[in-house]
Amino acid sequence: MELSPQFLPLFRREAYAVGINLYSDADLRNQFADILKMRRLSAGTYWDKMYSIDPVGELNGRDEAEQIPEGNVAMGRTCYGAVGIEASVRIGLSNTMHEYSRRFASEPGISPEQGFAGYLADQYAEGILSRQLYKWHQLSARIFNYGAIAAGQAFFNHRTRVNNPDLPNTGLQYDGRALFTFANNPHTANTNGATIGPTGRPTGTVCGWAGTAGAAIADTGGYFNAFTFPPSIWALKRVLTHFETNQAFDENNVPYQQTPDTLLISAHNEPDWDEILESHFLHGQNVNTENIFMLERYRLRKVVSRELIANTWFVGKANSPGIYLMEPDHEPTPWDFWYDAINRSWWMSYERRWGFLIRNWRYWIAGSASTDGVTPPNYGYNSATWSANPVF
């Protein structure tokens, strides 16, 4: 069975139909694509740079006839991102070609290539596409799983991740810090190196549950965005307060309004979070105080990922200009077929490129983060004890 130049378009059409059915399956969707902003690169471009958001300083009034005050617009820090080949596979088709060539050639009312394209889409494309959706999800989750490693992680080093010497050789972010930092190693403002906003203040005494990484770190308020607290109402309130009052300052230390709308959690803790978010009264406490997270003002959209490390959770602003997922805007078809004349074999292949770019840490905060990208924060196995506010 020989394949004409029309076979690849036929197969792409059949594979597209298979893909539509898969994307409609909620279990196979990449939930991160709904909450992280997408940045598409122009054709032939596989890396990009942006600048951290560094707006003009605070605006002031003036008296009549007084000279208009001058403002300074500073260029922010340079933030890099890149796409690499994250999903790639080839499959030998020689036996399939020999076995099914006669079958599709003898079917009435259908061309052999059309029938064969449909067969390959059903037999191979569905499996490959479901795997690529998982890979896309996995790459997105690693941004959060590896984001609190203080020394940085090779995953964030775009030079080595995509093998591009034009990019910086570092596993840290644009400000020389991890994406999620604790109070002992805070982010800094670009204009003057400040580590706390003018009205910033602590929300407690320490940054973690007893026995976790944050327990030995004093809560100083300011420009940090990582804690190690268990799933609980008291922890969610504290993280929300820190997000709105300590992270809502720009690179000039000028405050702005910032309200989170998303709670990103590990599937391991979904039952615990359902109890917390859907209980009308305070979870785990014998008082008739209503759960504020049932109120419209504090309602958070729950997003669940089985790829997030157990016991970790994050609060943030969906589709904000902080974390970008990236993919090429116009890329050749991910599918290809070819015949190897040397060994008389038929092959098909599939390949996709993805990446990411970190532009602003302020839009996400870790209520609980893994400090090595592997080990879950340990709060003990009795989740009933997590709800009791330890008052720290």
Condensed to tens digits (0 to 9), the pLDDT of residues 198-255 reads: 999 999 999 999 889 899 999 999 999 999 999 999 999 999 999 999 999 988 888 8
Among the ranges given (99-103, 241-245, 348-352, 374-378), the one the predictor scored with the smallest mean pLDDT? 99-103
Domain of 273? Answer: 7-57+73-387
Q: How far apart are the C-alpha atoms of 186 and 148, rounded to whole Å? A: 12
Q: How far apart are the C-alpha atoms of 244 and 1, rounded to whole Å? A: 64
In a domain, 229, yes or no: yes
In a domain, 68, yes or no: no
CATH number at residue 347: 3.90.1690
Per-residue pLDDT of 123-148, as tens digits, reads 888 888 888 888 999 999 999 999 99
Cα distances (Å, whole numbers) of residue 154 to 159, 176, 239, 245, 336: 9, 14, 28, 32, 31
Exposure string of 152-177, with b = 16+ CB inside 10 Å and e = fewer, is bbebbbbbebbeeeebeeebbbbbeb
Per-residue pLDDT of 70-122, as tens digits, reads 766 667 889 999 999 999 999 888 887 777 666 655 555 455 777 778 888 88
In a domain, 182, yes or no: yes
pLDDT the model gives residue 125:
83
∠ at Cα 230 (224, 235), nearest 5°? 60
pLDDT score of 57 more than 70: no
Band the pLDDT of 39: cuts 50, 70, 90: very high
Give me the number of domains the chain comprises. 1
In a domain, 341, yes or no: yes
In a domain, 64, yes or no: no
pLDDT score of 261 more than 60: yes
pLDDT the model gives residue 288:
64
Tokens representing 349? 């292949």
Mean pLDDT, rounded, of the chain:
86
In a domain, 1, yes or no: no
In a domain, 94, yes or no: yes
